[in-house]
Chain A
Amino acid sequence: MGLTASDLQAIGLTLQVAALTTAILLLLGVPLAWWLARTQSFWRKPVGALVALPLVLPPTVIGFYLLVLMGPQGWVGQWTQALGLGTLPFSFGGLVVGSVIYSTPFMVQPVLNAMQAMGSRPLEVAATLRASPTDRFFNVVLPLCKPGLITGAVMSFAHTVGEFGVVLMVGGNIPGVTRMASVQIYDHVEALEYADAHRLAAVMLGFSFMVLLGLQIWKTEPKGAAA
């Protein structure tokens, strides 16, 4: 294929960050979506807006605030230092934190849509059958919302793979630690290494297309065939 060793390293790192980000978002985003779907709280709308914020914010805004907040003078930085973790910029952990924030709406929104589409009827039925709230959540809600969960996970993963601004702002471009594929392409272009840029960019393009094509096929498949 002609990818250099550092390209492969960047791809490997990208897949790691994306996988970990997706896993964290499944753990945090699904309960959050559930809360948003069910709560009558005053906070529902502000939290809903907050969750959607990364969709409209420039990545440079997120990157800038992360750099300031996670630095030694920022309150997040002081907190991570007190925990003995050091500061997060220029680290794998910092990239994951940034990616989780950046990809949150891509997980929460499809899951939330699925939960709202489900309605409260299945839960009421389950409740009359004496299913406990946890039982209902794991055995009724999650199976019924499976399409939303899969869409959310795939979109979070793909979106993190394509992330650029946050990585450039807080990453520090360290090979094997924070140099993700998108920044590697940027570096190639800046250094006029267009052939290298082409190869890696083509890989990313192919990957993104395959992911979206896969989602399209899976979504339009008749219900029986998908299960």
Chain B
Amino acid sequence: MDKVMNLFLCGVGGQGILLASEVISSACIHSGFDVKQSEVHGMAQRGGSVISHIRFGEKVYSPLIEPGDADLVVSFELLEALRYLPYMNSNTRVIVNTQKILPAPVATGMDTYPADVLDQLKQRKLSVFPIDAFDIARSIGETRAVNMVLVGALSVFLPIQENIFMQVIEKRIPEKIRKVNIDAFLKGKETVRGMRTDS
């Protein structure tokens, strides 16, 4: 891999994006890549929009992905995928959790939630992989494992072996909830692999 790979994660404060980023970045290190991962804390934790940039490759300089340069986008919430369209290009693969979390203006009835998010993405010829990560996490018995479902889904497209992810999860996630997180990862991976038609 001579090119730096750009992963863009977006969603809502409290969805575990930062832990997911950490797991992915650690897996990148353990696979021998240089990595930079950037997120912004602060106000975003109060239910605001959250993004995380992960870049890995031989040598990474800038911590920030340029607009239009994301290779992979993982949107932890349906609507958030649309917010970050300018980071995508026609080759970007977009994994979208179809879970809806209403932004405050929608919850208070001042604005409406767009009805056709997936269509809007597809109209721009993006390869979209919709996945109901919340439902998958619920079926495993831990709704907070949504983030690991999505990491598993993303792993399908990364040059990183499954056992490396397993080692990282083993190290980073407390014993009590490790098993559900591993299950979540595997379920996410399996779901997206089933959708893949391009290899």
A and B found bound together? no
A interface list, Cβ under 8 A from B: none
B interface list, Cβ under 8 A from A: none
